[in-house]
Amino acid sequence: MSMAFANDGSERADTPILEVHELTIGLPSGGDRSSAVQKVSFSVGRGEIVCLVGESGSGKSVIAQSVMGLLPKSLPVKSGRILLQGEDITHASQARLRELRATRMSMIFQEPMTALNPVMTCGDQIDEVLAEHTSLSASERRAKVRSIISEVLLPDPDRIIASYPHQLSGGQRQRIVIAIALVLDPVLLIADEPTTALDVTTQAQILRLILELQKNHGTGVLFITHDFGVVAEVANRVAVLRLGDLVEIGPRDDVLKRPRHAYTRMLMSAVPKLEVIERAEVPGAPVVLEVAGLDKTYFSKRWLGPDRNVVAATDVSFSIRRGRTLGIVGESGSGKSTVARCIVRLIDPTGGAVLLSGDDIATKSSSALHAVRKRVQIVFQDPYRSLNPRRTVAEAMIEGPMNFGLGRTEALARARNLIELVRMPASSLDRYPHQFSGGQRQRICIARALAMEPELLVADEAVSALDVSVQAQVLTLLADIRERLNLAMLFITHDLRVAAQVCDDVAVMSKGRMVEYGTATQVFTAPRHEYTRALFDAAPGRGFDFGVAA
Amino acid sequence: MATSASPVPAAAPGAAAPDFEALSVESATVVVQPSLWQRVRRNGSVRLGGAVLLLLVAIALAAPWLGTVDPSLFDPASRDLLPGKSGEITTLEGETIEHTFRMGSDSFGRDIYSRVLYGTRVSLLVGLFTAVVAITFGTLLGLMAGYLRWLDGILMRVMDGLMSIPAILIAIALVAMWRGSLLTVVIAIAIPEIPRVTRMVRSLVLTIREEPYVEAAISLGTPTWKIMLRHILPNTVAPLIVQGTFICASGILVEAILSFLGVGLPPDIPTWGNVMAEGRSQFNEFPHNIFFPGIFLAVTVLAVNILGDGLRDTLDPKMAKRV
Amino acid sequence: MSPSSLFKRAAAAFLVGAALTAAAPVFAQQTVLRIVPHSNLAVLDPIWTTAYMSRNHGYMIYDTLFGTDEKGVIKPQMVESWTESPDHRLWTFKLRKGLEFHDGKPVMPEDVIASLQRWGKRDAMGSALFQFVQRMDSPAPDTFRIFLGEACGFMLEALGKPSSSVPFIMPKRVADTDPFKQIEEYVGSGPYIFKADEFKPGDKAVYLKNTKYVPRSEAPSGTTGGKRVYVDRVEWNLALRDTQAQVSALQKGEVDIIEAIGFDHYETIKKDDTLQMPKYATYGLQYMARFNHLNKPFDNPKVREAAIAAFNQDAFLRAQVGVKELYKPCGSMFICGTPYGSTAGSDIQMKSNMKKAQDLLKASGYDGTPIVLMKPTDLAAIQKLPDVGAQLLRQAGFKVDLQAMDWQTLVGRRAKKDPIDKGGWHMFMTSWQAFDVWSPIANPTTDTRGEKSTWFGWATDDKLVTLRNQFMRATDEAEKKKLADQMHARMYEIGTHIILGEYDQPMAARKNISGFFVTNGNIYWNLKKN
Amino acid sequence: MFAFLARRLAATIPVLLVVAVLVFLMLRLTPGDPAAVLAGDAASPEQIAQIREGLGLDKSIPEQFGIWFGRMLHGDLGKSYYYKTEVTTLVGQRLEPTLSLTLITIIVAVLVAVPLGVLAAWRFGGWLDRTLMGFSVMGFSVPVFVLAYLLIWGISLKLGWLPVQGYKRIADGLGPWFIHLLLPAITLSVVYIALIARVTRAAVLETLGEDYIRTARAKGLPESKVLMRHALANAAVPIATVIGIGIALLIGGVVVTESVYAIPGLGRLTVDAVLARDFPTIQGVILFFSVIYVVINLLVDLSYVFFDPRIRY
């Protein structure tokens, strides 16, 4: 079910709802640069969706907050003007800004799980806006709340009104946030990464909802994201930001398909395609990992209350040959990380077999496990918490090998050439983790894993936390290492594009079960299970081919 | 309206990969950040609290040369002199010397100025040792409770039990029984503080255990005791230092209260608590007995608390939010 | 009553109280005398302990056969008349009319006999008296007789003994309680009735006027004369221990009498015209330091002599009391100005100086063992003496280990005869009211029968024992006076203990309280509140 | 809810057991012999030994604990050596003053500290924040008895407003009861206010950083509503927790305050009992304080349900 494309960029309303002229916003002193945003100008017309896109540190969120007047004191607006329907609100009084918020301009945020006040009912949180800005009676307000709830396609409004945020799912909560934002029918909606924290399927529904509401109410939308798939899906016009500068702006197809600025071009090429890169299979490569009927259930014995057992993964079976990469794809809660942790024996599986080169490590006691540790290594998702802040990179690298008898000098030598392998300067060995960026830290983690010369490398969402350009660097690095060391790899991800680019074989998991398993090409081109098909359909910007270098 | 899945064209073999490094927002150069130590030194509260404390330590060390006499020397002739008056004191050898009592004299005729300055020594020592004892035992128990799950239940119940007994009552009971000496007073004050440290260390250990770098260490085959020593302990040092300063402050305060109740250090050892306890019965007539040691006590505890706040804000921003 | 019901009870009290705000207390129109005693009242059995608080409590609710007037003369109280047989071996006493216990029963001779026997088992003077007593009987409902093995010279001084372990008269059923267990019932025949149900240890004790009490006709003096009561109710405030808070409370009129004010407040109260400091004692109190004769070096009299020479009384009095008009040095162990108040042999202390003490110590062969001097930390009246003592001993050349502890620990530890390393001691200091030490028999330090003597320190000297026995048997006043002088000189010679001077413990009261008289103790009858 | 209550009450039993054992051992293992103290000054060693037998102190420690614990189970905490009355009656007599003082102090402290904390958080980093937090640190730094004397001297004597000392039972009229407790409650609450203000400030600061505050501001709500309905409402749980844990600190303070203001409460009783080596009373009172601590913390836990809908038992 592909997305019918609503309207193209050419139709422009008469006066723009939002105009931003030469906006410059300062940074607190001592930062690595003087201002967060320099001389940015753009406008948003009625019924138009403008996407602000850029990597972390590009200033896109700062711009959004400056429009709403929510900037903290440490980020002052140094120069430039912001006009809302012609009215200059750059330095408007707090009272005036409060009048405009939710009535004329609204904002929705990234984290649905924490965007709502946990101790107030959803009904009250919507009602609060009406009470503040209108003089409607309680019953009128209640009716309005019920109508907006049904408008955001939430079932059984009365139950929703009385329920607390923690009783709703992520998607439902985001609908409540949208209801709050649009209940007073503002002319401008600012959406700051509204779907980034949601699963692919939920993300698709929310995007469709936003498009629908925007069409019916003719609201102008300033849409902030770093996901180019989403940009391709919703944007009329696109503005690309790099470290606070507006490098390119224009209609969606011009910017995405025919990028003019070098940075945009680099970004377009960094976005992994949905097409599989096939690699010749080396015949006769030995099976490194054989998993048969793996189960993992969390038992919680409550003394008086009912027992609550959570089945994290059941009956998972697959195998990986030397030099091949198996990707496990699935939404959050599907059990993919549980499988990875069972294999690395960070948690103990409750059933099934895990054969590492024929040696079953599923039921090994902790002492016998020691030898096994050397042969399988893992790289985690969050680079900022994978390295011990109090120890230097060198100490982190040599800790593993020295546990297995290697002398300090040989371990240091191995560390030095591994740091080269991951293309990091030799001087980084005696520095502390807090002196490196996210991408650099992830490379160090990879080097640390390789120092053990493992047979199997497990990457658990290893690139999900990185910016697009950094992600590309790390993926190329991994591909290069895989070739050189003929390494078997297990790659866990929720991003289909990354899976397509990296994996030879793909397994799809949903609610703890493996619903599909086959070669990448076969799964991507002819998915058998309808859940896989739904997954592919929900992937944003699915049919869009981003700017191939001119 | 939805058509079936449209086929995905196979991509042409890898086009020339553009040079990411140059354009990436994350420049390859190493980010220079002020080291922890510089950040701590620059913090206002740390500087203020630290300066006052250094001054007090200087006073404590230089007490004999600051125009003081032997604090236990007394001469009933010059008792209850108001600050600034002068009188005579007989030394142990028996000859009497002229002496101006800058802070007045107590009901024995002892020079309060000398007793307050020498008192700085004991009070600071009490504060320091209390913090050290409480932190060491607390950390030990906290690590065990955090890491050895089977021990956790029992240990935490004992800690809850200890925490439910008011600190002062334990201190009074212990000191009254063991006869006040510096060691017993320190232990008596430290014991009620141990549960708080244990609980903090335990919660820290439980959070750090879940950190990826600890899981990485496990997968690297590092034995448990090494993990505790290398990965868990170093990351609890910052919060422990902060907690230590607050325990030091409360230690000094509790010592004063114990002396006030008559169960503190022996009266002839000059501490602020003893000087105040001695002077309490003449508060209305001669407030200087309580006024001067009270000022010193308040300033010291204030300085230690401010230092603690400063350290907490720099060393452990997360904890800054808690208390 | 389990803790939870306790909790409920308190919560209920809370609510009920809130409703009762209007109900003014019923005894508002009664006159209430609010007294702050010098310490907490814990033990209600005046025979079981020598603590002054229990003795003062006894004077409130019990009556005595004889009493001691302000000059120290023994006068009858419950006794109407008495005769002594020519051979001094039979005493007959006749009780006066109208003596009645609080429970309405008349005082019978059996009650007197049982009370005296219980007193005799615990009190030092009592046990001395009962060495003479063969038996006691009651020939008539208002007379009782005491048969002696041999003549005894201090029968009346013993029955009229004014201070700790006073021979109070209790009903037979109470007096039969084992002397080493505390009595459970508090019924006496004195001027006040003890309200046991309102007694809250550490909080307050309440006494009501005994309307049926028949006082003697004479004027009150010491513990003799008419015990008239002009107030309806007396409340002892046991919670107000902080001396500063006591003075503040008196100044604000929240309490009427403070039994013993800190010397430091003497000036403030003198300047305050709403307050008065009544003179209630001809003789004050005496400080003393007690040697432990068992432990080296104080087993050597020469070393004790050096210590006596070093202890000049003025240093102690100035430090501890500090107010000139409240203290006076006095060389007599039996209190200056009393019948037996001799100063024989006191030159060693009164006319000595530090140089003499240092020479005596060098000559004594003192080997430098540190003197364990015990110092109480929670008794304001005496806690400064050990510090002065330590400084004087150090100046004389002694090594001193000043150990501070609370009074209860000190009391516990001084009872031990163990050597130093097992918790033993060398010296402690205390203070006695005049009446406890003015009589050569009552004074605890005169008993020098070594480890068998009844008081700590355990001095041994046969010569003094014989002198004391002779004094007990002497009936002629002149001979008693001579024997007292010889005992006094002997005590100084062997150094049983060191006296540190006499002082008056000032009492303070609001101006609207009258009827104070010389009691030489803490006695609260004859007081009016207008 | 019942399952939670049963579980929580069951959890308190080991805590109280630990307290009982800890205190029992602490007293028995330390030197100081109650029998000697009780025997009074004229008793001979045989008499002391006799009394020790009477008190059962000659038996082995585990035996003594068995006896004491057996009796404790049905409410008999034994007899006080010193006062010769049942410990339960002794505690009963002194319960009202301490409970009254503690409750008034808690109320005064919470009513003052929470607004201060919120104000300080609202003006984070400003002069108001620094002065309020300065006062709160002062509150920690000044010993309770110095404060007590200052207040007595200033308010009671010089201005003559409040009584210097003493305690009036509720039964004798609510007016005098409250007047007598006001000054001690103010003295005692200073430390407690300092503690609660700091925690309130930290908790509100932490909630002000949450996403739903940004949502609230984006709704155009005035800052006061953002602070009260969103920030403070979510900070209620940590604040309630510190009120619970602070009780132990408060009871410690009660001991000193009762000494200076001559309030015959449990605090004063404990000090006297300790000085008199009155083991049964010390054990009884400390156990009772632990019960108060545990009960109040149980109430605090139950209050969580009221503050935070996510917490369901």
DSSP-assigned letters across all residues of C87-107: TS-EEEEEEPTT-B-TTSPBP
Residues on chain C touching D169 (C-beta within 8 angstroms)? 13, 17
SS3 D286: helix
Q: How far apart are CA D282 and CA B170, in angstroms?
A: 10
Q: Is the pLDDT of residue B13 over 50?
A: no
Q: How far apart are CA B39 and CA A495, in angstroms?
A: 40
Looking at the complex, report in whole angstroms how far the Cα of residue C116 sits from the nearest Cα belonging to chain D.
18
CB distance B285–C268 less than 8 Å? yes
Residues on chain D touching B163 (C-beta within 8 angstroms)? 245, 248, 293
Residues on chain D touching B168 (C-beta within 8 angstroms)? 252-253, 255-256
| For residues A389-411, average pLDDT | 90
Architecture of domain A18-270: 3-Layer(aba) Sandwich (3.40)
SS3 A223: strand
Q: Between these two residues, C440 and A548, which has the higher pLDDT value?
A: C440
Q: Which residues pair with A190 in a beta bridge?
A: A107, A222
Looking at the complex, report in whole angstroms how far the Cα of residue C250 sits from the nearest Cα belonging to chain D.
10
> SS3 string of C198-243?
HCECCCEEEEEECCCCCCCCCCCECCECCCCCCCCEEEEECCCCCH
DSSP state of B9: P
Domain ranges, ordered by start, for chain A: 18-270
Q: Is the pLDDT of residue A133 over 80?
A: yes
Looking at the complex, report in whole angstroms how far the Cα of residue B109 sits from the nearest Cα belonging to chain C.
8
Instruction: Give residue-wise pLDDT tens across range B181-239.
Output: 788 888 888 988 899 899 889 988 888 888 899 999 988 888 888 988 888 888 888 88
Q: Is the pLDDT of residue B93 over 80?
A: no
The reply to whether B173 touches chain D by the CB within 8 Å rule is yes
pLDDT of res. A2: 36
Q: Which of residues 446-505 of A touch B (CB under 8 A)?
A: 448, 452, 467, 469-470, 472-473, 476
Looking at the complex, report in whole angstroms how far the Cα of residue C491 sits from the nearest Cα belonging to chain B.
29
Q: Which of C24, C240, C454 lies closest to D165 in CB terms?
A: C240
Instruction: Give residue-wise pLDDT tens across range A420-438.
Output: 888 888 888 888 888 888 8
Tell me which of A170-174, A517-521, C84-88, D29-33 is least confident.
D29-33
Looking at the complex, report in whole angstroms how far the Cα of residue D86 sits from the nearest Cα belonging to chain C.
10
CB distance B213–A428 less than 8 Å? no
Task: Kindly tell me the burial class for residue A510, based on how many C-beta atoms sit within 10 Å of its own C-beta (0-12, 13-18, 19 or more).
Answer: buried
Instruction: Give residue-wise pLDDT tens across range C363-373.
Output: 988 888 889 99
Angstrom CA distances, C339 to B163, C283, C447, D242, stand at: 62, 12, 20, 69
Q: Is the pLDDT of residue C234 over 90?
A: yes
Residues on chain A touching D233 (C-beta within 8 angstroms)? 117, 119-120
Tokens representing B168? Answer: 């002062």
Bridge pairing between strands C371-376 and C400-405: parallel
Residues on chain B touching A345 (C-beta within 8 angstroms)? 219
Tell me which of B72-76, B308-312, C62-66, D36-40 is least confident.
D36-40
- Beta carbons of A322 and A288 less than 8 angstroms apart: yes
Number of other CB atoms surrounding residue A73 within 10 Å? 7
A357 torsion bin: left (phi>0), alpha (psi -120 to 50), beta (else): left
Q: Which of A70, A98, A166 lies closest to D310 in CB terms?
A: A166
pLDDT of res. B51: 92
Instruction: Give residue-wise pLDDT tens across range C444-482.
Output: 888 888 888 778 888 889 999 899 888 888 878 888 889
Q: How far apart are CA B180 and CA C388, in angstroms?
A: 21
CB distance A98–D6 less than 8 Å? no
Q: How far apart are CA A116 and CA A165, in angstroms?
A: 7
| For residues D158-168, average pLDDT | 85
DSSP state of B122: H
| For residues C302-314, average pLDDT | 90
- Beta carbons of C201 and D90 less than 8 angstroms apart: yes
Q: How far apart are CA C393 and CA C308, in angstroms?
A: 10
Task: Kindly tell me the burial class for residue A435, based on how many C-beta atoms sit within 10 Å of its own C-beta (0-12, 13-18, 19 or more).
Answer: middle
Domain annotation covers residue B100: no
When divided into structural domains, chain B yields a total of: 1
Q: A69 Cβ partners below 8 Å, 6+ apart?
A: A89, A92, A94, A97, A101
Instruction: Give residue-wise pLDDT tens across range D204-221.
Output: 988 888 889 999 999 989
CB distance C180–D48 less than 8 Å? no
Instruction: Using CB atoms, list chains with 3+ pairs below 8 Å to chain A.
Output: B, D
Task: Identify the band that residue D147 occupies on the pLDDT scale cut at 50, 70 and 90.
Answer: confident
- Nearest chain D residue to B170 by CA: give it: D23
Domain annotation covers residue B229: yes
- Nearest chain D residue to A129 by CA: give it: D219
Q: Is the pLDDT of residue B21 over 70?
A: no
Bridge pairing between strands C204-209 and C233-237: antiparallel
Task: Identify the band that residue B322 occupies on the pLDDT scale cut at 50, 70 and 90.
Answer: very low
Tell me which of A333-337, C35-39, C44-48, D11-15 is least confident.
D11-15
Q: Which long-range contacts (CB under 8 A, 24 or more apart) does A525-534 make?
A: A525/A276, A525/B7, A525/B8, A527/B5, A532/A508, A533/B5, A534/A201
- Nearest chain D residue to C165 by CA: give it: D42
- Beta carbons of A107 and A127 less than 8 angstroms apart: no
pLDDT of res. C33: 93
pLDDT of res. A186: 92
Number of other CB atoms surrounding residue C97 within 10 Å? 8
Q: B62 Cβ partners below 8 Å, 6+ apart?
A: none
Q: Order of strands, edge to edge, in the sheet holding A188-192? A: A105-108, A188-192, A220-225, A49-54, A237-242, A245-251
CB distance C405–B108 less than 8 Å? no
Q: Is the pLDDT of residue B11 over 50?
A: no
Q: Which long-range contacts (CB under 8 A, 24 or more apart) does D46-54 make?
A: D47/C180, D48/C415, D50/C180, D51/C180, D54/C181
Q: How far apart are CA C423 and CA C428, in angstroms?
A: 14
SS3 A377: strand
Looking at the complex, report in whole angstroms how far the Cα of residue A317 sits from the nearest Cα belonging to chain B.
23
Residue bearing tokens 């240091």: A412
Q: C506 Cβ partners below 8 Å, 6+ apart?
A: C260, C261, C263, C266, C269, C277, C326
pLDDT of res. C187: 93
The reply to whether C405 touches chain D by the CB within 8 Å rule is no
CB distance B284–C394 less than 8 Å? no
Phi first, then psi: what are they for C156, rounded to 5°? -70, -40
Q: Which of residues 191-220 of B touch D (CB under 8 A)?
A: none
Tokens representing D130? Answer: 């620094």
ipTM over 0.85: no
Residues on chain D touching A68 (C-beta within 8 angstroms)? 218
Residues on chain B touching A276 (C-beta within 8 angstroms)? 8, 10-11
Tokens representing B113? Answer: 């100025």
Exposure string over B65-90, b if 16+ CB within 10 A, otherwise e: eeebbebbbbbbebbbbebeeebebb
Instruction: Give residue-wise pLDDT tens across range A525-545.
Output: 888 899 999 888 888 887 777
Count of CB pairs separated by less than 8 Å, C with D: 170
Instruction: Give residue-wise pLDDT tens across range B125-150.
Output: 999 999 999 999 999 999 888 888 88
SS3 A513: strand
Q: Which of C17, C23, C122 lies closest to D177 in CB terms?
A: C17
- Nearest chain D residue to B247 by CA: give it: D140
- What percentage of chain A has pLDDT greater than the value 70? 95
Looking at the complex, report in whole angstroms how far the Cα of residue D266 sits from the nearest Cα belonging to chain C.
10
- Nearest chain B residue to D150 by CA: give it: B283
Looking at the complex, report in whole angstroms how far the Cα of residue D16 sits from the nearest Cα belonging to chain B.
6
Task: Identify the band that residue B4 occupies on the pLDDT scale cut at 50, 70 and 90.
Answer: very low
- Beta carbons of A379 and A442 less than 8 angstroms apart: yes
Domain annotation covers residue B3: no
Domain annotation covers residue B85: no
pLDDT of res. A9: 42
Looking at the complex, report in whole angstroms how far the Cα of residue B12 sits from the nearest Cα belonging to chain A.
9
CB distance C180–D50 less than 8 Å? yes
The range of the structural domain enclosing residue B56 comes to 44-70+116-322
Domain annotation covers residue B255: yes
Domain annotation covers residue B269: yes
Q: Which of D7, D212, D233 lies closest to A115 in CB terms?
A: D212
| For residues B281-309, average pLDDT | 84
Residue B183's CATH number: 1.10.3720.10
Helix B237-260 × helix B167-178 angle, to 10°: 60
> SS3 string of B262-288?
CCCCCCCCCCHHHHHHHHHHHCCCCCH
Q: Which of C40, C267, C377 is the best residue to mutate to test the B interface, defined by the most B CB atoms within 10 Å of its own CB?
A: C377
CB distance C17–D94 less than 8 Å? no
- Nearest chain C residue to D160 by CA: give it: C252
Q: Is the pLDDT of residue A301 over 50?
A: yes
On average, the pLDDT of chain D sits at 84
Exposure string over C445-472, b if 16+ CB within 10 A, otherwise e: bbbbeeeebbbbbbbbbeebbebbebbb
CB distance B260–D145 less than 8 Å? yes
DSSP state of C252: T
pTM over 0.95: no
Q: Indicate the residue type of D28.
A: R
pLDDT of res. B6: 33
